[in-house]
Amino acid sequence: MKMTDLFLGELERETASTRRTLERVPEGRYDWKPHDKSMVLGYLAELVARLPSWTVFTIKQDSLDLSTYKAQPLRTTRELLEEFDASVAGAREALANTTDEHLLKPWRLLVAGQVVMEQVRHVVLRDSVFSHLAHHRGQLTVYLRLLDLPVPAIYGPSADEKTF
């Protein structure tokens, strides 16, 4: 089986539960955070909505400099979901139009021109896109619970959804 097929399958499996999580982000609470050291809810939700688009950066660019990466804030559930849907569509297209050979080539993450990470693309996709998405989506479900909002079933039932 090709790596691209594995990643496309994972993208499809993760999309529905991530979308259900984003649907529950409460508007008007984007500046809330559970602890002084935590990121604010709105930033976390934006990160979850945009992480699939990192597939596009990883495949179509040789590097990304975070100091030049600027994204407009998303302030409504509708904006979060539109951004997520566009991110997933871009990821699908990038994966469908690349090769396993390309995924064996190196990719770099930079900050102000300095390399902070260099890995082959398939490792970047696994670690910095898919695992990173699962991690931050998990954080987001904790925020939902702390706000006394229903948590979606993801890899199994939640206290709020007995089926998934």
pLDDT digits (tens, 9 = 90+) for 53-97: 999 999 999 999 999 999 999 989 999 999 999 999 999 999 999
pTM of the model: 0.94
Q: Is 162 within the bounds of a domain?
A: no
Percentage of the chain exceeding pLDDT 90: 96
* Predicted local distance difference test score (pLDDT) of residue 163: 78
Output the domain CATH number for residue 85. Answer: 1.20.120.450
Q: Is 164 within the bounds of a domain?
A: no
Q: Is 89 within the bounds of a domain?
A: yes
Q: Is 134 within the bounds of a domain?
A: yes
In which residue are the tokens 């939902």 written?
144
Residues in contact with 24: Cβ distance below 8 Å, sequence separation at least 6, in sequence order: 144, 149, 150, 151, 152
Domain of residue 39: give its range: 3-146
Cα pseudo-dihedral 89, 86, 125, 110, rounded to 10: 140
pLDDT digits (tens, 9 = 90+) for 101-140: 999 999 999 999 999 999 999 999 999 999 999 999 999 9
pLDDT digits (tens, 9 = 90+) for 94-108: 999 999 999 999 999
* Predicted local distance difference test score (pLDDT) of residue 164: 61
Number of domains in the chain: 1
Q: Is 64 within the bounds of a domain?
A: yes
pLDDT digits (tens, 9 = 90+) for 3-12: 999 999 999 9
